[in-house]
């Protein structure tokens, strides 16, 4: 299994955009992809769904945010 990892603490360098696009491209090529959004602002998550979808389905479920802040 190959693993691709991205990390850069500097803001505004395109981390989320690049990660979302690499993940989407890999999935389109038939690869299995797991993207983990550890950003409290959930920008990577919102790259793949709307705010309304997230609020209806996931806002009150067990998410990493709830686990880490418990």
Mean pLDDT of all residues in 29-36: 91
Domain that holds residue 34: 16-69
Is 26 inside any structural domain? yes
Does the pLDDT at position 68 exceed 80? no
The answer to pTM > 0.75 is no
Mean pLDDT of all residues in 41-60: 81
Cα 5 to Cα 62: distance, rounded to the nearest angstrom: 25
Is 31 inside any structural domain? yes
Question: Diameter of the chain by CA atoms?
Answer: 38
Whole-Å CA distances, 68 to 26, 40, 50, 64 = 29, 11, 23, 6
Token output for 42? 């959930």
For residue 20, the model assigns a pLDDT of 93
Does the pLDDT at position 21 exceed 90? yes
Total of domains in the chain: 1
Is 6 inside any structural domain? no
């Amino acid at each position: 299994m190959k693993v691709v990892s991205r990390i850069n603490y500097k803001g505004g360098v395109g981390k989320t955009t690049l990660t979302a696009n690499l993940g989407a491209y890999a999935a389109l090529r038939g690869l299995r992809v797991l993207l983990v959004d550890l950003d409290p602002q959930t920008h990577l998550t919102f790259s793949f769904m709307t705010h309304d979808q997230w609020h209806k389905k996931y806002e009150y479920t067990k998410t990493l945010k709830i686990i880490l802040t418990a």
